[in-house]
Structure 1
Amino acid sequence: MKGLRAERIAQRVETSGNAPQARFGHTVTAISKTKVILFGGAIGDTGKYSITGDTFCFDIASRVWSRIDKVTGLAPSARAAHASCAVEGLQLVIYGGATGGGSLASDDLYLLDLRKGDNEGSWMIVPVVGSTPGRRYGHSLVFTKPHLLAFGGNTGNESVSDVWSLNVEKSPFSWNKIEITSEMPKPRVYHSACLCTTGSAMGMMVIFGGRTNDQSALNDTWGLRRHRDGRWDWVRAPYKNSGEQAFARYQHTSLFIDSKMLVLGGRTNQVGEVVPVEAYDTESSEWQKFPSIQRFRHSSWTLDSEVYIHGGFENETPNIPTDSIVKLDTSKLLGRVEPVPRNVPEPRMNLDQNRPIPRVPRAANKTPEIRLASNVLVSMGGEQNEDTGEQVHKVPINCLQEEGKRMGVKPLPPSMTKSQTVAESISGLFIDILFRTHDWNNLPELKFVKTTSDPSRMQIKKDSILSLIQECEDIMKQEPNVIRMRAPVKIFGSLNGQYIDLLRAFENYGEPSERLGDGDIESFDYLFLGDYIDRGSKSIETICLLMALKVKYPDQIILLRGHHEDQQINVHYGLAQECRTRLDEDPSETNSVFTCLNKMFEYMPLCAIIEDKIICLHGGISQNLRTIEDFEVISKPITINHMPQTPEQQALMDLLWADPCENERDNGFKPHTARSIFGNIFKFGVDRVQKFLSDNKLGCLVRSHECVMEGFERNIPAEMITLFTATDYCGKYKNAGAILFVKKNLEIVPKIIYPLNGSAASWLENEESLRLRPATPPRWKPR
């Protein structure tokens, strides 16, 4: 290497465990702070090699290799020169590659989910509709939220420079070719691409080098950026000193350390030429050169200021790959006193999360049988357990009623820890306030304040609530009436303004956040079955927290409509009065929180279907809706006519109001005189449930709407579960509350909270409300 003395700037990393064979053309992808996943590549020398499809995990902290051999689903075929990137904690995607003999891998996008535990994983083909980038190798794959970007590579006939985007927040998933009219990079293969996460180039996919169709090596650098109006364009990276440009190379790797892109290894147009490690500073537009780490067709990753390089070919043995790992400390190389921590949120991609998905054949992905767990997890407040902080234990379902009697009613611990930094967005503001430390008997209230001089009032302005409502409405306008979901899912029943019970469920069984220890939003989606308001005294806190969570996690928090999400109901049973007294507003005004909430309610989805097997809704089925497609064609906004004149109007009443017959031997549809004397509300029999499930190839119906004494009730022989999350309904029945965990294998596990003693329960005692509509008795008699 001319003018630069080659030094040993990296140290070899000694490893143990079940290490992969030496290889080249593989990928190594960081899926967490300390774990990386190796997939595929070619084994053997350049004269005789075989391509693999094996998967290994390397723990950076312990320096131990392990083979991931407990894998379910349809795995990608063996391949090399493919592309990979992380899309969420413990998840990655694979696309393209060569399979040997001149053949290319399919154009399927594969997702590997490793959240089950050590050495376990599941593969799935991500369902996409429409065109794809097509078969190719030597390309790149980068995730810049919410876009998965595929660039360049060779199609088998020629190198290309097209860019394809898959927006993970827009379903059904589809690849879209990005049309760019400005100057573009030349077609290339074996280039590098990485995401800049800080500085002026933050959010850009930056590409470097590669090889053209005429086999020439390239040394140009480009950044792909997206404008606020949705346009994409390429920007050629400027060079401050034109004489100090980088070496032209291909089959190298690149990655970012803060605002500097490091280029590692590779080959040039001259066989055996030694190329330096080079760094391009996106802030100063300058290149720096460092001693060489000579590898090509290798993989690399970074942990803070440390760079790791695995496999590929070394200069001394250009035909035989290595299995070694070397580590480079860039804090010394770049002249930094200490590593600069990068406060970058992990990219999240909800490929198997709560979203509508296209119908795809499931021959290789058979859905397991739905079954209700034999045990219930019970949480009861009281003396804190030294190890767990709560008394949570398993109880056989058939002993649950006696368990409630045995345990009695004790107060919960006086507070729970909910410390979160206030986010910049309006949703983050509400989440921070509503998830803060609470005393159950002295919870904060959201009140409209014109000034900030009153410290006893929470500093939330009415305009902030209205902005939150509008953000939530904008999301719901884009949602279909039927939300299709993937397990695992947590299901919540009616809350009826019982903000305390919502917090207790989060505290005991995990909350929808990313906080270490408490949060599980990366592992579960959340489904709520309606009735968030009325009856209880904290409707505003309840609906504001749920809206804020919906805005922050739009694809993972699903809010279905209940019968109280209707202005004709909530004007009488709590919400209107709460807005009047606590927000100092006239609910009849067009810009009131009350009016705007009810406008948003009209865009809420009506039901959700989990894994094409479990249908979830608020009330019940209807004789006017025979198929799922009947639900889907109802147009938004949806207003409820309480004296239905058409079959569609009656169907909407049934979805929100219908109950199953009390006697499981009753069949058909019958007027529900206990709820209405006008003949507009119906009860449905076991036979109707079984027929609806059979006609739609479903296995179970989960609904809410009725208080049940243990928080959930399974109706036999119909495959139906009634779920109710608010405890001690209206302060009268001492019922437990429950949520359901739907596991990946479709086992349904109920989790119970018992009612509180004392004044923390906050049901309204409004005489007009009770006169107009007394609390509906539970399906089970009080204990």
Structure 2
Amino acid sequence: MFSSKHVKPKELVKDVMKRLEKNGASETTLHESEIIEICYRSREQLMCDESVLDLQVPITVVGDVHGQFQDLMGVFELNGHPSKKKYLFLGDYVDRGQYSIATIVLLLCYKLLYPKNVYLLRGNHETRLINRVYGFYDECTKQYSTKLWMLFQTVFDCLPLCARISERIFCMHGGISPEIKRWETLKKLRRPTEIPDFGVLCDLVWADPSKNVYGFSENPRGVSCIFGENAVYEFCQNMKIDMVVRAHQVVQDGYEFFANRRLITIFSAPFYCGRFNNAAAMMSVDDDMRCQFYIRRPKDHAWSKKIPKSSMRALNEFSDLTIAETVSVKYFIKDLAEENVRKGKNNPS
């Protein structure tokens, strides 16, 4: 039986990472003792980050992954390994997909080995009530134990809730909250914590934009709120930012604009649940604050084919990475300044 007692923690993490990268999720055996060690180390590492991450460009933003291990590997194959590129993940690493354990374990390995290049936010599926129902609990208990599932929840409780990129782009999994008027509100958030049924923490992982509402209203999901375009404009003005980036919803092209491009939804799990013929997207922000959206589309119904066991071999099932659209954040800064002038207000600092 495998034992990690005599293996140095960093060497153990490297070994797990290399096995997953080389063999893929379906052909890699992870011992429970290895996962436990990674979870304990990850809690410590995650708590070294602030609840509101202050990140700098260049950086690549990735949306929902949902246990689609092969597609996660595709991100790194096409955009660069975390040892060389900086990534911000917006949450929802588990549930729905077939390989939730391998997906979250690999991301935690990257966080441990490259803590300044990999940042993980919390999604609504990184909560007990949700991943108890939508697949992660069953995967943990069938392959390992209920105790391991419970240990993962303590790791999720340590995940940061939001991030700010170069003081101009605000990122979270879900959406904005009527209770957030200034940065001090967010900086008061404490971890580890469970997600409550209402309030700022709940909204950050659950809220959705809607064209059919002015301000904030009840969410049809039955939790948190929905918010309109005017709420996004007001939020950007109050927080002195130019763009909100979130995930949480399937969008056909992998990314979608809202509120005159002030809010962007990014979804990075293609062919979601095997039912949606959606593309995957990621957003790269360069040193000049230009945002480029990279998408991967299926070719000729390739999504309907059985994906090979090797995640690397699966890449030939997809179209090449393409630059779908380039948007400069400087445009938003200029636009916001002009808008404030029209309203007779001071330009944002």
TM range (shorter): 0.7 to 0.9
TM superposition shift of 1:500: 1.0
> 2:21 maps to what in 1?
435
TM superposition shift of 1:505: 1.4
> 1:468 maps to what in 2?
38
Unaligned runs of 5+ in 2: 1-7, 310-349
Inter-partner Cα distance in structure 2 for 1:581 and 1:662: 42
TM superposition shift of 1:423: 9.7
* Native 8 Å contact 2:86 2:118 kept in 1: yes
Does residue 539 (structure 1) correspond to residue 92 (structure 2)? The answer is no
Pair 1:424–1:566, CA change in 2 (3 A)? closer
* Native 8 Å contact 2:52 2:162 kept in 1: yes
Inter-partner Cα distance in structure 1 for 2:133 and 2:192: 22
TM superposition shift of 1:614: 0.5
* Native 8 Å contact 2:65 2:268 kept in 1: yes
Inter-partner Cα distance in structure 1 for 2:10 and 2:26: 21
Q: 1:707 aligns with which of 234, 250, 261?
A: 250
Q: 2:241 aligns with which of 698, 701, 725?
A: 698
Q: CA RMSD in A?
A: 1.8
* Native 8 Å contact 2:232 2:259 kept in 1: no
Does residue 759 (structure 1) correspond to residue 306 (structure 2)? The answer is yes
> 1:618 maps to what in 2?
173
> 1:487 maps to what in 2?
57
Q: What secondary structure does 1:491 align onto?
A: strand
Inter-partner Cα distance in structure 1 for 2:23 and 2:239: 45
> 2:230 maps to what in 1?
687
> 2:88 maps to what in 1?
527
| Greater fraction of residues in strand | 1
Partner AA of 2:238 in structure 1: D
Q: 2:192 aligns with which of 625, 629, 637?
A: 637
Inter-partner Cα distance in structure 2 for 1:535 and 1:604: 20
* Native 8 Å contact 2:68 2:100 kept in 1: yes
* Native 8 Å contact 1:423 1:432 kept in 2: no
* Native 8 Å contact 2:211 2:229 kept in 1: no
Pair 1:736–1:603, CA change in 2 (3 A)? same
Inter-partner Cα distance in structure 2 for 1:683 and 1:718: 17
TM superposition shift of 1:554: 1.1
Q: Which has the higher contact order (CA 8 A, sep 6+)?
A: 2
Q: 2:82 aligns with which of 512, 518, 523?
A: 512
TM-score normalized by structure 2? 0.82
Does residue 564 (structure 1) correspond to residue 121 (structure 2)? The answer is no
TM superposition shift of 1:636: 1.5
TM-score normalized by structure 1? 0.37
TM superposition shift of 1:479: 1.6
Identity percentage of aligned residues: 33
Does residue 750 (structure 1) correspond to residue 293 (structure 2)? The answer is yes
Inter-partner Cα distance in structure 2 for 1:571 and 1:508: 33
Q: What secondary structure does 2:306 align onto?
A: helix
Q: What secondary structure does 1:562 align onto?
A: coil
Inter-partner Cα distance in structure 2 for 1:424 and 1:623: 42
Unaligned runs of 5+ in 1: 1-421, 447-457, 514-520, 645-649, 763-783
Inter-partner Cα distance in structure 2 for 1:537 and 1:667: 39
Q: 1:669 aligns with which of 187, 208, 216?
A: 216
Q: What secondary structure does 2:22 align onto?
A: coil
Q: What secondary structure does 1:436 align onto?
A: helix
> 2:11 maps to what in 1?
425
Q: How does 1:444-455 map to 2 (within 5 A)?
A: 444-446=26-28
Query: Once superposed, which parts of structure 1, at least 4 consecutive aligned residues long, lie more than 6 Å away?
Result: none
Q: What secondary structure does 2:46 align onto?
A: helix
Partner AA of 2:208 in structure 1: D
Q: How does 1:193-592 map to 2 (within 5 A)?
A: 425-436=11-22, 443-446=25-28, 458=29, 460-513=30-83, 521=84, 524-583=85-144, 585=145, 587=146, 592=147
Partner AA of 1:485 in structure 2: L
Q: What secondary structure does 2:253 align onto?
A: coil
Q: What secondary structure does 1:545 align onto?
A: helix
TM superposition shift of 1:757: 3.3
* Cα displacement string for residues 475-533 of structure 1 (whole angstroms, at most 9, x for unaligned residues): 112221111111000110000111111011111222213xxxxxxx1xx3110000000
* Native 8 Å contact 2:9 2:37 kept in 1: no
TM superposition shift of 1:667: 1.5
Inter-partner Cα distance in structure 2 for 1:684 and 1:445: 44
TM superposition shift of 1:437: 5.0
TM superposition shift of 1:622: 0.5
Partner AA of 1:617 in structure 2: M
Q: How does 1:593-604 map to 2 (within 5 A)?
A: 593-604=148-159
Partner AA of 1:749 in structure 2: Q
Q: What secondary structure does 2:87 align onto?
A: strand
Inter-partner Cα distance in structure 2 for 1:573 and 1:761: 24
TM superposition shift of 1:717: 1.6
Inter-partner Cα distance in structure 2 for 1:471 and 1:426: 11
Q: How does 1:65-76 map to 2 (within 5 A)?
A: none
| Greater fraction of residues in helix | 2
